[in-house]
Structure 1
């Protein structure tokens, strides 16, 4: 991105930031594109469920967008002097990451001006239906399913997303599990429910039941916490034994604090230290994932065994 000065993108408040938001949209939509002010100011901005976003270069607001409760992204606008520099793409990716991290939305959509189709296609949106006219400008509806591998790769690209708390780790573990199509491999100390949440178990269950090729391997340092509780993951493995296998290490690896969840040998959530919650997520990490899977395969084949205490638990 070739922008002079530091770029900052943040969630905005209509009450606190409406002056900047209105100034940008007035310049782009009303003055440049000739949109009727009554159409532009449609009454949805003030709703508590509407989320607004602003982009700044240094201290100057130069772009904005909003998202409605329905998942409709709109009012994407960049001041004339800052176009062609990747601002809109960066803003859109910020909004999509925000959706994944902070909302329950599975899908988002927008009404794209025909001239902006390449921007939205590059970010992973797909067009739907026929061209229509909105505010005297040709548009087409575009959709994006957030929890697919292609979407996650478009949204996060090859970014290394640093993680330092259970909530962040848990969300990314859930995301790559939900998007998996063939196999999920997990190395964990004891499958802490802070990290491997009910949402993760639900995603794993969905994957195991809907993908004919699903293969899930879970390798633990310590199975006692699972064996001493009615862990949903154990019940799921008992119900789906052909898809889900759980084994326990009988010899500790050199880097005992490390762990990971890997989906389809290309997306990874990695713990440098699982106990201290230090690590990262990467959605285009084929080489890193394959490297870790070499170790995983070695441990799975030669240094692990099934725990009879898990298989004996009653459903």
Structure 2
């Protein structure tokens, strides 16, 4: 059954939005009322899903931010209407509305609901924490436009270790979204190989934050950056290099030894499952795979051969913080 989904400001929202949240979160789940109702409601877009006879059954809200980040929250389906696909309809609708506004979407998921959000491309990006006495995890989606545009997208799209399809890209934004989604799910290894750390591709706040989060969350992990040319790094304060200066035990950069043949394709590998691959250094065409241990093993072996003969960056030593 198809829901009709409508959007409101808090000031104009029908009483059913508050009633559904009261029923699900406060009455059913025991969330204290003072935590359920907050000032964020005033600045959020609120969505309500109704049946063809206009019976309200589901709600959600979208919280804007001053950055390119939107937060989906307060998703609730009345108990008697669960298991009919209404939650997915609501989430997909809000994602569609948000995809043109925000660079990434975040949400706080109750632990039991994580698989539900994974089915639409969200991945876990935190350790478990308590919220109103209920275990939660933070989740994010960095490739919303690509996921929504692919009618044949698999269950668990872009999920590391579960999605074995190939995601093609031929534009800068598609490339960045898919590469960041690969990197954002790594737990112990990110190996990056390119001709240089191009500012348009790598000197970005979102990628810096992904690397920083991995280093903070995982005690044993490594980020290796392997490039041919490090001179552009001194032109301005490259965000990855500044991060490397602060986390020298987690992030290392080396230069390819020109006496040994190197790969002609740029790639990033995450753990032993994920890879984002460009066909040429000067091209934005390529693909990403999230569960391809065979290909990742081959690229990791090629990376390791280049890494073992590579040398430290002299330019980097002179780069001030």
TM-score of the superposed pair, with normalisation by structure 2: 0.59
Task: Name the SS of the counterpart of 1:242 in structure 2.
Answer: coil
- Alpha carbons 1:101, 1:171 under 8 Å: kept: no
Residue 87 of structure 1 deviates from its aligned partner by 7.9
Once residues 268 and 305 of structure 1 are traced to their aligned partners in structure 2, the CA distance between those partners, rounded to angstroms, is 24
| Match status 1:253 vs 2:259 | no
- Alpha carbons 2:199, 2:238 under 8 Å: kept: no
The match for 2:174 is 168
Residue 53 of structure 1 deviates from its aligned partner by 10
The match for 1:241 is 248
**Residues 122 and 73 (structure 1 numbering): CA distance in 2 closer, same or farther, change over 3 Å?**
same
Give 1 or 2 for the bigger CA radius of gyration. 1
Structure-to-structure mapping, 1:107-146, within 5 angstroms: 107-109=107-109, 120=113, 122-123=115-116, 143-146=136-139
Task: Name the SS of the counterpart of 1:146 in structure 2.
Answer: strand
Once residues 198 and 295 of structure 2 are traced to their aligned partners in structure 1, the CA distance between those partners, rounded to angstroms, is 24
Q: Give me the CA root mean square deviation.
A: 5.3
| Match status 1:50 vs 2:50 | no
Task: Name the SS of the counterpart of 2:303 in structure 1.
Answer: helix
User: 188-197 vs 96-105, which deviates more?
Assistant: 96-105
Residue 220 of structure 1 deviates from its aligned partner by 0.8
Residue 187 of structure 1 deviates from its aligned partner by 0.8
**Residues 12 and 264 (structure 1 numbering): CA distance in 2 closer, same or farther, change over 3 Å?**
farther
Residue 13 of structure 1 deviates from its aligned partner by 6.8
Q: How many residues align?
A: 269
- Alpha carbons 2:184, 2:210 under 8 Å: kept: yes
Once residues 320 and 247 of structure 2 are traced to their aligned partners in structure 1, the CA distance between those partners, rounded to angstroms, is 14
The match for 2:62 is 68
Once residues 157 and 129 of structure 2 are traced to their aligned partners in structure 1, the CA distance between those partners, rounded to angstroms, is 17
- Alpha carbons 1:201, 1:233 under 8 Å: kept: yes
Task: Name the SS of the counterpart of 1:106 in structure 2.
Answer: strand
Residue 213 of structure 1 deviates from its aligned partner by 0.7
The match for 2:192 is 186
Structure-to-structure mapping, 1:1-315, within 5 angstroms: 49-50=44-45, 66-69=60-63, 71-72=72-73, 74=75, 89=88, 92=91, 102=102, 105-109=105-109, 120=113, 122-123=115-116, 143-147=136-140, 154-157=156-159, 158=163, 159-196=165-202, 197-249=204-256, 250=258, 251-253=260-262, 256=264, 258-302=265-309, 304-315=310-321
Residue 201 of structure 1 deviates from its aligned partner by 1.7
Unaligned runs of 5+ in 2: 21-41, 50-56, 64-70, 118-123, 142-146, 148-154
The match for 2:121 is none
TM-score of the superposed pair, with normalisation by structure 1: 0.60
Residue 100 of structure 1 deviates from its aligned partner by 12
- Alpha carbons 1:221, 1:252 under 8 Å: kept: no
Unaligned runs of 5+ in 1: 16-21, 30-46, 55-62, 111-116, 131-139
